[in-house]
């Protein structure tokens, strides 16, 4: 049972099952070492760890932006690496938000949100636009839908990027340091959007340095180091009663 899924049956299978995931980059860097974890539907998982510990790599394996070298990943019961799996279809179920929003500069905010779903066969332009407008409202950008990215603040651009990811109607949202490139006064507005998504029951895996968010919103916090998943715990025990010496050391540098 998570903070966010009180209406879900307890016995439901996890929406993400990663088992012994290994990633070795072509240069030989062993970025993930037998990483195993599961994420329940509606759960919010925050990943912490020092720079280079494999946080981004792990997120990227979850929608196959990185191909893994060992282990397996199941998304909602579908094995990413089974022969019959349509990886593009699977990817649509996993939205991703990056540190640098990467909006198309020559498209308006609304057009940025509509772009990907318009390419999916079977979606009517009118329905896509209506959904995009609803999403802009949801992220508090309904007054600026016709702006080009260069006329938006970093926080506003990131909120459009979240709406863009949601436009594909994903089952899971991945966030890789979504507030790290923002001026401090804009961090809150992006975290608020993420909090409301969590409250609605979205399954989220979030790499962030925002410890307040981790404490308040996460159901579980993961700690990675040198490609290994060392600790996973509820936020209270993770922050207040860390048992692993490496986690203690990491937290002592932060607080
Ligand atoms: N494309 C790549 N090719 C080769 N090595 C890579 C590549 N991307 C990442 N690495 C290496 O893999 C390891 C894990 O990197 P990763 O980016 O996943 O770490 P991270 O925990 O996200 O770090 P940060 O907090 O700095 O974002 C590092 O040693 C990194 O140098
Ligand atoms: Mg990273």
Instruction: Please tell me the predicted confidence (pLDDT) of residue 121.
Output: 77
pTM for the model stands at 0.95
Q: Which ligand is nearest to the CA of 57?
A: 1
Mutational pocket test of ligand 1: of 22, 32, 55, the residue with most ligand atoms within 8 Å of the beta carbon: 55
Least confident of 9-18, 21-30, 126-135, 188-197: 9-18
Residue 184 buriedness (CB in 10 A; 0-12 / 13-18 / 19+): exposed
Instruction: Please tell me the predicted confidence (pLDDT) of residue 8.
Output: 53
Q: Is residue 80 scored above 60 in pLDDT?
A: yes
Q: Whose CA is nearest to atom 16 of ligand 1?
A: 54
Measure 235 CA to ligand 2 centroid, in angstroms.
Answer: 21
Q: Is residue 4 scored above 80 in pLDDT?
A: no
Assess contact for 121 and 89: CB atoms under 8 A: no
In which band, very low, low, confident or very high, does the pLDDT at 2 lie, cut at 50, 70 and 90? Answer: low
Mean pLDDT within 7-17: 77
Helix axes 125-138, 109-119, angle to 10 degrees: 130
Q: Is the CB of 64 under 6 A from ligand 1?
A: no
Instruction: Please tell me the predicted confidence (pLDDT) of residue 206.
Output: 98
In which band, very low, low, confident or very high, does the pLDDT at 7 lie, cut at 50, 70 and 90? Answer: low
Dump pLDDT digits (tens) for 225-250.
999 999 999 999 999 999 999 999 99
Q: Is the CB of 67 under 6 A from ligand 1?
A: no
Instruction: Please tell me the predicted confidence (pLDDT) of residue 3.
Output: 67
Dump pLDDT digits (tens) for 43-57.
999 999 999 999 999
d(CA 34, CA 56): 16
Mean pLDDT within 127-132: 97
Assess contact for 152 and 110: CB atoms under 8 A: no
Assigned token pair, 8 = 């879900």
Instruction: Please tell me the predicted confidence (pLDDT) of residue 114.
Output: 97
Q: Is the CB of 144 under 6 A from ligand 1?
A: no
Q: Whose CA is nearest to atom 25 of ligand 1?
A: 51
In which band, very low, low, confident or very high, does the pLDDT at 255 lie, cut at 50, 70 and 90? Answer: confident
Q: Is the CB of 155 under 6 A from ligand 1?
A: no
* HEC string for the chain: CCCCCCCCCCCCCCCEEEEEEEEECCCCCEEEEEEEEEECCCCEEEEECCCCCCHHHHHHHCCCCCCCCEEEEEECCEECCCCCCCHHHHHHCEEEECCCCCCCCCCCHHHHHHHHHHHCCCCCHHHHHHHHHHHHHHCCCHHHCCCCHHHCCHHHHHHHHHHHHHCCCCCEEEEECCCCCCCHHHHHHHHHHHHHHHHCCCEEEEECCCHHHHHHHCCEEEEEECCEEEEEECHHHHHHCCCCHHHHHHHHHHC
Assigned token pair, 114 = 């509509």
d(CA 129, CA 109): 12
Residue 116 main-chain phi, psi, to 5 deg:
-65, -50
Strands 16-24 and 70-75, sheet pairing = antiparallel
d(CA 62, CA 69): 13
Mean pLDDT within 28-44: 98
Instruction: Please tell me the predicted confidence (pLDDT) of residue 202.
Output: 98
Q: Is residue 143 scored above 60 in pLDDT?
A: yes
Q: Is the CB of 49 under 6 A from ligand 1?
A: yes
Task: For the chain, give the longest Cα–Cα distance.
Answer: 55
Mean pLDDT within 99-106: 96
Q: Is residue 5 scored above 60 in pLDDT?
A: no
Looking from the CA of residue 66, the nearest atom of ligand 1 is 1
Per-residue burial over 28-43, b = 16 or more CB atoms within 10 Å of its CB, e = otherwise: eeebbbebebbbbbbb
Mutational pocket test of ligand 1: of 52, 55, 180, 227, the residue with most ligand atoms within 8 Å of the beta carbon: 52
Average per-residue pLDDT for the chain: 95
From 65, 6, 2, 58, select the one nearest 30 (Cα to Cα). 58
């Amino acid at each position: 049972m998570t903070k966010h899924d009180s209406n879900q049956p307890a016995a439901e299978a996890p929406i993400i099952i990663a088992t012994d995931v290994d990633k070795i980059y072509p240069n030989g860097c062993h970025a993930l070492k037998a990483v195993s974890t599961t994420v329940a539907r509606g759960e919010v998982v925050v990943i912490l760890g020092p720079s280079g510990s494999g946080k981004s790599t792990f997120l990227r394996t979850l929608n196959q932006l990185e191909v893994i070298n060992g282990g397996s990943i199941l998304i909602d019961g579908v094995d990413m690496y089974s022969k019959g799996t349509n990886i593009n279809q699977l990817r649509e179920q996993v939205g991703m938000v990056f540190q640098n929003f990467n909006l198309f500069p020559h498209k308006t905010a609304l057009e940025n949100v509509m772009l990907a779903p318009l390419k999916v066969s079977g979606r009517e332009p009118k329905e896509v636009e209506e959904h995009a407008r609803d999403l802009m409202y949801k992220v508090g950008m309904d007054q600026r839908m016709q702006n080009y990215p260069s006329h938006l603040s970093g926080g506003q651009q990131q909120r459009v990027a979240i709406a863009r990811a949601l436009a594909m109607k994903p089952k899971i949202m991945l966030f890789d340091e979504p507030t790290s490139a923002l001026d401090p006064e804009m961090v809150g507005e992006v975290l608020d959007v993420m909090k409301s998504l969590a409250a609605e029951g979205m399954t989220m895996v979030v790499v962030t340095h925002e410890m307040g968010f981790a404490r308040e919103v996460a159901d579980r916090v993961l700690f990675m180091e040198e490609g290994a998943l060392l600790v996973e715990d509820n936020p209270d025990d993770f922050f207040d009663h860390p048992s692993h010496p490496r986690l203690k050391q990491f937290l002592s540098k932060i607080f």
